[in-house]
Amino acid sequence: MHDIRQIRENPAAFDAAMARRGLSSLSEEILALDAARREKIAAAEDALATRNKASKEVGAAKARGDEEEFERLRALVAEKKAEIATLEEEAKAEDAKLRDLLMGLPNAPADDIPDGDDEDDNVEIRRWGTPREFSFKPKEHYEIKAVQDGMDFETAAKLSGSRFVVLSGAVARLHRALGQFMIDTHIDQHGLTETNTPVLVRTEMMEGTGQLPKFGEDSYQTTNGWWLIPTAEVTLTNIVNNTTISESYLPRRYVAQTQCFRSEAGSAGRDTAGMLRQHQFEKVEMVSITRPEDSEAEHKRMTECAQNILEALGLPYRTVVLCTGDLGFGMKRTHDMEVWLPGQDQYREVSSVSLAGDFQARRMNARYKPAEGGKPEFVHTLNGSGLAIGRTLIAVLENGQEEDGSVTLPACLHAYLGGKTRITAEGQLV
């Protein structure tokens, strides 16, 4: 959420930032609501001062026997009490309008983020690895012979509908091994704290990280009001919801592997084949909570954490900076890691690492106490996939496929697979 004081101080800069997001000038509407709210609050404070003064004088008028003055003052006290209640209710209504408006506005992009309309305008900043040259036409993951018995979309459709999958045998074990490898690497090499969180959250938690109120259709809500998390960003970031922590507590670096749930609203017809775009999937999520002055460096560090996983797996990838038209609602800066999928002959997103600045912290009232004293300040929050397990599974299968239908597996996974190094064309780990 945006700082109303900054909008008051520099409305032109705010409008310019929103224009980069494709929104028309909003500062005039925002400041009009703010002015109305402040006017009601000031009037209520004046009425309260008048009431308090009259209340003190009532007793004195009674004591000296001035019945007329006593009745006038008593009537004034009652009048101001009613006026204060009305003004406070009106101020509350104006405040709710202002909050609703601000809650629906996206974060301001960082100054150096490229302008653009969509993903075609993203800017590549790194490329690692050389895509393998195949002596045969590589298949998509679900077409590989070694995979076909272990990736069952028909049974999943019977159980749950479209965009679900049942994994079994070697494929299920490989999926599990990938998640375990990612978690271990983040803990042992990157210094993250392993965390196990719920997948059901309250509405306030979804509001805190920006999924609500604007994007409710993208997530699932239970009949009793809980929301299924679209990513562990929601739970990990909200650990500091409505909390003031000491500076010595920062940075906090969390990692969790969870089920994630997304309705994929608006994606009808996209990536319907295979398991690239599912309603339910697993992801290893990283979240950092930092001081404002540390957040840019932390974003670079988290990007490297995601890249390290891909490099350990030997998967060619590229890193892009998202342009203003592709940037997520709550983010100032995002780096996407796109892994090479030879079956599709293109790079596809496998991780997004994002800096929200104080945008989420303001929504969830998350602050820290500076060590040298002074007023509490808002923390900065960051999140990133480290990685999406299903999409990484796709990349491992497609990049490791052989002409006979078998799959050669990355060396870093062998220990997680009982020393086994490949999946045969018959679907067996050997």
| Chain CA centroid to CA 207, Å | 10
Contacts for 125 with CB less than 8 Å, ≥ 6 apart: 319, 320, 321, 335
CA triple 404-410-413, angle to 5 deg: 125
Is there a contact between 358 and 156 (Cβ–Cβ < 8 Å)? no
| Chain CA centroid to CA 145, Å | 37
Q: Is residue 132 among the annotated active site residues?
A: no
Q: Is residue 127 among the annotated active site residues?
A: no
Is cis: bond before 159, omega within 30 of 0? no
Going by their DSSP bridges, the two strands 367-369 and 193-194 should be labelled as unpaired
Compute the distance between CA of residue 411 and CA of residue 402 in angstroms, rounded to an integer. 16
User: What are the DSSP E strand ranges found in 130-231?
Assistant: 151-152, 166-167, 193-194, 200-201, 220-221, 227-228
Q: Is residue 8 among the annotated active site residues?
A: no
**What's at 58, amino acid-wise?**
V
What is the Rg, in whole angstroms, of the alpha carbon atoms belonging to the chain?
Answer: 28
- The half-sphere exposure of 79 on its side-chain side, counting CA atoms within 13 A, is 8
Catalytic position from the list 219, 351, 352, 385: 352
Catalytic position from the list 79, 119, 349, 377: 349
What does the DSSP assignment read for 239-273?
GGTT-EEEGGG--EEEEEEEEEE---TT-TTSS-S
| Chain CA centroid to CA 209, Å | 5
Q: Is residue 391 among the annotated active site residues?
A: yes
Catalytic position from the list 354, 391, 402, 422: 391
Q: Is residue 349 among the annotated active site residues?
A: yes
- Orientation of helix 27-63 relative to helix 11-20, angle to 10°: 140
Q: Is 354 helix (H, G, I), strand (E, B) or coil?
A: strand
Where do we find the tokens 């060396």?
A: 411
In the beta sheet, which residues pair with residue 310?
Answer: none
Catalytic position from the list 176, 277, 291, 348: 277
**Closest by CA position to 353, among listed 389, 309, 322:** 322
What backbone torsions phi and psi does residue 414 show, to the nearest 5 degrees? -60, -40
The span from the first CA to the last CA of the chain, in angstroms, equals: 53
In the beta sheet, which residues pair with residue 95?
Answer: none
Q: Annotated active-site positions, please?
A: 262, 277, 349, 352, 391
